[in-house]
Structure 1
C-alpha cells in the first residue's frame, strides 16, 4: 500500500473525521476521502462506520489499524538499522510520561542522550499517569514513564523504582513536623493540584478518590512548574512523588512526607515498553539510559 494511504488512514482513525484529518494533514478533504475509498475498495470491505457526526472504525478497520501501525513501526525500525549500517547514529525516540517528569527528569535524560546521539529526534508528550499505558499499548509511543499499576497484556516493565506519591510542602509548613500524613491531616490545609482527574486515578484505594472528590483546592492549574513554585513559597500542599521535587528537596526548599496508607506507599514509578513491537536500537539505548537515570534519582532521594 502507498505510504500516503497509510498516513491518511491512521489520521482519520485518530480524529474520527475526514475533515479534521484533512486539516491536520494540510490536504483537501476530497483527497483524504478518495484515499480511504480506494483502500476500502482494495480490501473489499468497509473499514469505517459512517455516523451523523463523523466516522468510526469498525472491526475490519481496527484490524487494519493494527496492521498499519506494525508496518510503520517496522519501516522506522528498518530506517534506523540502515542508518546504523551507514555508521550514523540516527533515529526517532517517542516518549509519553506524566507531567511532573517534564521539569527536570526528562529534559536531563534527553540532554544526556543527545550528547551521544546528536542526530536523534524526539516526540515527547505529557499526559496523566493513567493515560500512559494505553498510549504505549496503542502504538502512539514506544516508551512510557508513570506510576505503576497492573499492566495490560502487551506491555512490559523496563525498570521501576520505589518513589511513591506523598505530600510536598514548604519547610515551614505545620504538617512538616509529622512523619506520616493521613488524608484527614491534609483536609484542613490549602491544597494545590493539577487540573484534570486525580493523578492516581485507578491505582489507589477508594479513600484517596473520596478525598480527591471532596477537597476544595485553593489553586487548580495545568502547570507543574507553577505548582512547584507555589508549594515552595508556602501557599499550600500538593501530592507528588519525590521525583518531581528532587532539586527542591536537595536544597531544603520543600519537605516530602509519605502517606499513612500502605497501598499508596507501595506504588512505584516505572518505565514501560511494548512486548509485541521490536524497538529500534536507538530507542533501546534510550530506555537503558532512562532506567539508569531513574535508579540514580531513587538512590539520591532515599539515602
Structure 2
C-alpha cells in the first residue's frame, strides 16, 4: 500500500475524525476521505463506523491498524539498519511519558542526544502515567517512562529508580519541617491538583479515589509547568516526584517530603519498551542515554 494511505489511516484512527486528521496532516479533508474510501474498497470491507459526531474503528479497522503499525515499525527498523550500513546517524525516536518529565528531564535528554545524532527526528507525547503502557502496547510509541505498577503483557522494564511521588511545597511552607506527611495533613493546606487520575491511585488504599475527589484544590489544571510556578511561589502543595523539580530542588526554592504511606514510597519510575517487536538501532541508543540519565538523576536527588 502507498505510504500516504498508511499515514492517513493511522491519523484518522487516532483522531476519530477525518477533518481533524486532515488538519494535522495539512491536507484537504477530501483527500484524506478519498484515501480512506479507496483503502476500504481495496480491502472489500468498511474499516470505520460512521457516527453522527465522527468515525470510529470497527473490528476490521482495529486489525488493519495493528497491521499498519507493524508495517511502519518494520519500515523504520529497515531504514535504521540501512543508515547504519552507510555509517549515517539517522532514524526516528518515539517516546511517551508522564507530563512531569517534560519540564527538565526529557528536554535535556533530547538536547544531549541531538548533539550526537543531529539527523534523528522525534515524536514525544505527554500523557497521564497510567496511559503510558497502553500507548506502547498499541504500537504508537517505542519507549515509555512512567511509574511502574502492574504492566500489561508485551512490555519489559529496562530500568527503574526510586523516585516516588511525595509532597512538594515552597521551602517556607509550614509542612517543610516535617519528615513525613500524611494524607490527612494535606487536607489542611491549599492544594494544587493536576487534572485527572492521580498516579497514586491503585497503589494505596481502595478509598483513595474518594479522598482525591474530596479535596478542594485552590487550582486544578493540566499543566505541570503552571503548578510548579504556583508551588514555588507558596500558593499551595501538591503530589509530585522529585523529577519534576530538578532545578528548584537544587536551588532550594522548594522542598519534597515523602508521604506517610509505605506503598507510595515503594513506587518506582521506570523506562519500558515493547518486547514483541524489534526496535531500531537509534531507538536502542536513545534508551541507553535515558537509562544513564535517569540513574544519574536518582543519585543526584537522593538527599534532596
The answer to whether the superposition gives a TM-score over 0.5 is yes
Q: How far did 1:159 drift?
A: 0.9
What CA deviation, in whole Å up to 9, does each residue of 1:4-23 have, x standing for no partner? 22122212222223333333
User: Do the aligned partners of 2:80 and 2:280 also contact (CA within 8 Å) in 1?
Assistant: yes
Q: How far did 1:274 drift?
A: 1.2
What CA deviation, in whole Å up to 9, does each residue of 1:14-68 have, x standing for no partner? 2223333333333343333332232223223222223333322222211111110
Residues 262-273 of structure 1 correspond to what in structure 2 (within 5 A)? 262-273=262-273
SS at match of 2:126: strand
Question: Which residue number in structure 2 is paired with residue 75 of structure 1?
Answer: 75
Q: Which has the larger displacement, 85-94 or 48-57?
A: 48-57
User: Do the aligned partners of 2:200 and 2:264 also contact (CA within 8 Å) in 1?
Assistant: no
Question: Which residue number in structure 1 is paired with residue 6 of structure 2?
Answer: 6
Q: How far did 1:270 drift?
A: 0.8
User: Do the aligned partners of 2:194 and 2:224 also contact (CA within 8 Å) in 1?
Assistant: yes
Question: Which residue number in structure 2 is paired with residue 93 of structure 1?
Answer: 93
User: Do the aligned partners of 2:96 and 2:124 also contact (CA within 8 Å) in 1?
Assistant: yes
User: Do the aligned partners of 2:173 and 2:234 also contact (CA within 8 Å) in 1?
Assistant: yes
Question: Which residue number in structure 2 is paired with residue 24 of structure 1?
Answer: 24
Q: How far did 1:201 drift?
A: 4.0
Q: Which has the larger displacement, 73-82 or 189-198?
A: 189-198
Question: Which residue number in structure 1 is paired with residue 43 of structure 2?
Answer: 43
Counterparts in 2 of 1:28 and 1:172: CA distance versus 1, 3 Å: closer
Q: How many residues align?
A: 303
Residues 105-144 of structure 1 correspond to what in structure 2 (within 5 A)? 105-144=105-144
Question: Which residue number in structure 2 is paired with residue 159 of structure 1?
Answer: 159
Counterparts in 2 of 1:203 and 1:121: CA distance versus 1, 3 Å: farther
Q: Distance in 2 between matches of 1:272 and 1:54?
A: 33
Q: Distance in 2 between matches of 1:247 and 1:20?
A: 37
Residues 273-284 of structure 1 correspond to what in structure 2 (within 5 A)? 273-284=273-284
Q: Distance in 2 between matches of 1:77 and 1:30?
A: 32
Q: Which has the larger displacement, 44-53 or 211-220?
A: 44-53
Question: Which residue number in structure 2 is paired with residue 168 of structure 1?
Answer: 168
- Which consecutive segments of 4 or more residues in structure 1 shift more than 4 A? none
Q: Which has the larger displacement, 243-252 or 84-93?
A: 243-252
Counterparts in 2 of 1:26 and 1:108: CA distance versus 1, 3 Å: closer
Q: Distance in 1 between matches of 2:203 and 2:41?
A: 44
Unaligned runs of 5+ in 1: none
User: Do the aligned partners of 1:129 and 1:200 also contact (CA within 8 Å) in 2?
Assistant: no
1:286 has 2:286 as partner: yes
Q: Distance in 2 between matches of 1:42 and 1:13?
A: 18
Unaligned runs of 5+ in 2: none
Q: Distance in 1 between matches of 2:244 and 2:204?
A: 19
Q: Distance in 2 between matches of 1:109 and 1:119?
A: 15
Question: Which residue number in structure 1 is paired with residue 244 of structure 2?
Answer: 244
Q: How far did 1:268 drift?
A: 0.6
Q: Distance in 2 between matches of 1:38 and 1:162?
A: 51
